[in-house]
């Protein structure tokens, strides 16, 4: 069976063999640890693009925290509308 594009790059990421909790840190120093791993990752660009396109709002993806991704989306004018309710 053929793998999707996401499955291919995700399998190449440096986080593949690390505990997922590394990329869902509880504080700023945890974010820095995750970021350093991402910056050496061969699929950092694909990962960040995926997180932005899918509006993933938890964890460090492609070397960016939630807050950084929100900033990028805002700059691009593509931030998700605030939920009403």
Interacting residues with ligand SF4 (CB under 6 A): 13-15, 23, 37-38, 41, 43-44, 47, 61-63
What is the number of the residue whose Cβ is closest to ligand SF4?
13
Nearest-angstrom CA–CA distance, 61 and 85: 28
Half-sphere exposure of 80 (CA within 13 A, CB side): 12
Nearest-angstrom CA–CA distance, 10 and 75: 26
Between 40 and 82, whose beta carbon lies closer to ligand SF4?
Answer: 40
Between 18 and 78, whose beta carbon lies closer to ligand SF4?
Answer: 18
CB of 76 to ligand SF4, least distance (A): 19
Nearest-angstrom CA–CA distance, 4 and 73: 25
CB of 75 to ligand SF4, least distance (A): 20
Nearest-angstrom CA–CA distance, 2 and 5: 9
Between 30 and 82, whose beta carbon lies closer to ligand SF4?
Answer: 30
């Amino acid at each position: 069976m053929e793998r999707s594009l996401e499955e291919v790059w995700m399998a190449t990421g440096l986080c593949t063999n690390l505990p997922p909790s590394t990329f869902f840190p509880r504080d700023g120093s945890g974010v820095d640890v995750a970021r350093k791993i991402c910056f050496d990752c061969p699929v950092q660009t694909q990962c960040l693009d995926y997180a932005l396109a899918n509006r993933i709002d938890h964890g460090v993806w492609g070397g960016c925290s939630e807050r950084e991704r929100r900033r990028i989306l805002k700059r691009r004018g593509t931030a998700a509308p605030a939920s009403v309710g």
